[in-house]
Amino acid sequence: MKDELFAELLASVTEGGAILRGEKEPSRSFHLAPPDIKRIRNGYELTQEQFAAMLGISVSTLRNWEQGRRTPEGPAMVLLRVAEKHPEAVLDAVCTK
């Protein structure tokens, strides 16, 4: 590795460590508001049990999300956004014909 590239990589890692320790603010961050999960589920006209099964999650997880006790994260958040914006894609992926 060239010295210039290594120095750039080292600076980046050092900066990342400072951000993680709270010593420096990140240059940008992304915050997505949690989707209205109950509204999404009602759009599918499914019970909590049916919607949880469709998403591959437990009913208790879905209830916690709907009641605001927990917030979906990572892949679950993405799946819910897809379910909200493209219900036909989700139904196509999970429904057997």
Note the pLDDT tens digit of each residue in 68-77: 999 999 899 9
**Mean pLDDT across the stretch 19-39?**
89
Q: Are residues 87 and 57 in the same domain?
A: yes
Residue 97 has pLDDT above 80, yes or no: no
Do 24 and 50 lie in a common domain?
no
State whether 47 and 8 are in the same domain. no
Nearest to 56 by CA among 94, 21, 1: 94
Domain co-membership, 51 together with 86: yes
Give yes or no: residues 24 and 41 share one domain: no
Residues 9-30: what's their mean pLDDT?
92
Same domain, 22 and 48: no
Do 21 and 52 lie in one domain? The reply is: no
Q: Is 7 exposed, middle or buried (0-12, 13-18, 19+ CB in 10 A)?
A: exposed
CATH number of the domain where residue 54 is located: 1.10.260.40
Digit-coded pLDDT (tens) for 58-71: 999 999 999 999 99
Same domain, 46 and 71: yes
User: Which residue range is the domain that position 23 belongs to?
Assistant: 1-30
Give the Cα separation of 69 and 17 in Å (integer).
Answer: 31
Backbone angles phi, psi at 86, to 5 degrees: -140, 65
Q: Report the first-to-last Cα separation within the chain, whole angstroms.
A: 54
User: Is 95 a residue whose pLDDT tops 90?
Assistant: no
